């Protein structure tokens, strides 16, 4: 996600979550639920004042951040809605992903969003790997 602050563009990696991938190629649909995830994120943050809780930078110099709008944790909302899963890599230093695991368990149990795919669900990490092959 890109944000602009005082004339500077900042690229933010939503820490703790991994959302379905949109296609990087023209005329390809991307991963199921990727457009719904993108739309929800836009609805939550576009043209709004966003607070960023930073957990440093990733290897691509993106800010690892939790976004808040009106005190609401946007990253966590994405997981609760079944439009992102908990990031399976090494967590950012100081980041507590326990609330995210609980939100994912609830979303899976209630078959929200991408979890409605059941056995056909493919994690974003696995999907990215398949696209490279």
Average pLDDT over residues 70-77: 97
Which tens digits make up the pLDDT trace of 78-96? 999 999 999 999 999 999 9
Q: With contact defined as beta carbons under 8 Å apart, do 74 and 16 qualify?
A: no
Domains and CATH numbers, the chain: 2-132 (2.40.50.90)
CA atoms within 13 A on the CB side of 49: 2
Q: What is the pLDDT of residue 5?
A: 61
Q: Which residues are catalytic?
A: 13, 21, 62
Q: Which two tokens stand for residue 32?
A: 């199921």
Q: Is the pLDDT of residue 127 over 80?
A: yes
Query: Residue 19 in contact with residue 88, Cβ under 8 Å?
Result: no
Flag whether pLDDT at 6 surpasses 90.
no
The set of residues, in sequence order, having a beta carbon less than 8 Å from that of 86 and lying 6+ positions away, is 16, 17, 18, 79, 97, 100, 101, 104
- 16 vs 7 pLDDT, higher one: 16
Q: Could you read off the pLDDT of 30-67 as tens digits, one per residue?
A: 899 999 999 999 999 999 999 999 999 999 999 999 99
16: nearest Cα among 80, 92, 74: 92
Weakest-pLDDT range from 26-30, 113-117, 121-125: 26-30
Nearest to 1 by CA among 71, 73, 59, 75: 75
H-only helix segments in 46-89: 74-80
pTM: 0.91
* Mean pLDDT for the stretch of residues 85-113: 96
What per-residue confidence (pLDDT) applies to 25?
76
């Amino acid at each position: 996600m890109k944000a602009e602050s005082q004339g500077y563009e900042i690229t933010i990696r939503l820490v703790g979550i991994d959302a379905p991938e949109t296609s990087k190629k023209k005329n390809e649909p991307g991963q199921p639920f990727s457009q719904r995830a993108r739309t929800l994120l836009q609805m939550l943050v576009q043209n709004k004042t966003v607070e960023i809780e930073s957990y440093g930078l990733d290897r691509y110099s993106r800010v690892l951040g939790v976004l808040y709008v009106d005190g609401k944790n946007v990253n966590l909302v994405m997981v609760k809605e079944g439009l992102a899963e908990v990031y399976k890599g090494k967590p950012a230093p100081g980041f507590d992903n326990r609330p995210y695991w609980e939100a994912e368990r609830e979303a899976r149990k209630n078959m929200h969003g991408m979890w409605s795919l059941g056995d056909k669900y493919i994690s974003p990490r696995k999907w990215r790997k398949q696209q490279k092959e």
